[in-house]
Copies of this chain bind each other. A is one copy, B any other.
Amino acid sequence: MEILKDRIRKDGKVLNGNILKVDNFVNHQVDVKLFNEMGKEFKKRFNGYEINKIVTIESSGIGIATIVSQYFDFAPVVFAKKTIGGNFSQESYETKVYSYTKKQEYNVKISKEFINKGDKVLIIDDFLANGNASLGLVDIIKQAEATVVGVGIIIEKGFQEGREKLEKEGIRVESLAIVEKMEGNKIYFK
């Protein structure tokens, strides 16, 4: 998606070799107009597929998933939670996800009420790198006997193994921008 790649070239910052910071339009400040363009693009990429639910993981997946829903007939968005709050249902599907960025293992949970057997789920997230977060969501969706129609990603780090792991599970991955390598402050796309 050219306008996204241009924006990453303009506003993305490469930190410590492998971290791509896009927090002025994706995951701290959010450009909602650009998110709508992404929503349209995901609709094109998954056109003709039956999708009745959008699943993401808190926090930075929530904004894009909410906008994407508007292009899939307002399919309900369910966001997986990373910690147990006082009002979290005891009845949930759970899995563990290790975050390399935060160097921490999370319990990831979705209440059993919100993923039903037979659901056709589109997973949406901001980043795909090693694939741990997406694979955690796939695990939860399978526990619910629902189907993962595909994974839609804003930015994929093409030099990490996330796509390979997901495709090995037979899952279609659509990324709006695939970073092939980062050198100094320069970002190369596939």
Instruction: Report the stretch among A83-91, A130-138, A167-175 that lies at the interface.
Output: A83-91
User: Are the CB atoms of B63 and A66 closer together than 8 Å?
Assistant: yes
Pick the residue among B29, B58, B77 that contacts A114 (CB under 8 A). Answer: B29
* A30: nearest chain-B partner, CB-CB: B77
Instruction: Name, among A29, A74, A113, the residue most crowded by chain B CB atoms within 10 Å (CB to CB).
Output: A29
Q: Does A32 contact B (CB under 8 A)?
A: yes
Contact A33:B79 (CB < 8 A) given known A15-B87, A66-B66: no
Q: Does A45 contact B (CB under 8 A)?
A: no
Q: Does A28 contact B (CB under 8 A)?
A: yes
A155 contacts which chain B residues (CB < 8 A)?
none
Q: Does A62 contact B (CB under 8 A)?
A: yes
Q: Does A59 contact B (CB under 8 A)?
A: yes
A28-B28 Cα distance, complex, nearest whole Å: 20
A85-B113 Cα distance, complex, nearest whole Å: 31
User: Are the CB atoms of A21 and B87 closer together than 8 Å?
Assistant: yes
User: Are the CB atoms of B19 and A86 closer together than 8 Å?
Assistant: yes
A24-B15 Cα distance, complex, nearest whole Å: 38
User: Are the CB atoms of A66 and B35 closer together than 8 Å?
Assistant: yes
User: Are the CB atoms of A87 and B19 closer together than 8 Å?
Assistant: yes
* A19: nearest chain-B partner, CB-CB: B87
1/0 per position for A26-47, CB-CB distance to B under 8 A? 0011111101100000000000
30 A-B pairs (CB sep. < 8 Å):
A19-B87, A23-B89, A23-B111, A24-B113, A24-B114, A28-B81, A28-B110, A28-B111, A29-B77, A29-B78, A29-B113, A30-B62, A30-B69, A30-B76, A30-B77, A30-B78, A31-B76, A32-B70, A32-B77, A35-B66, A36-B70, A58-B58, A59-B62, A59-B79, A62-B63, A62-B66, A63-B77, A66-B66, A85-B101, A86-B102
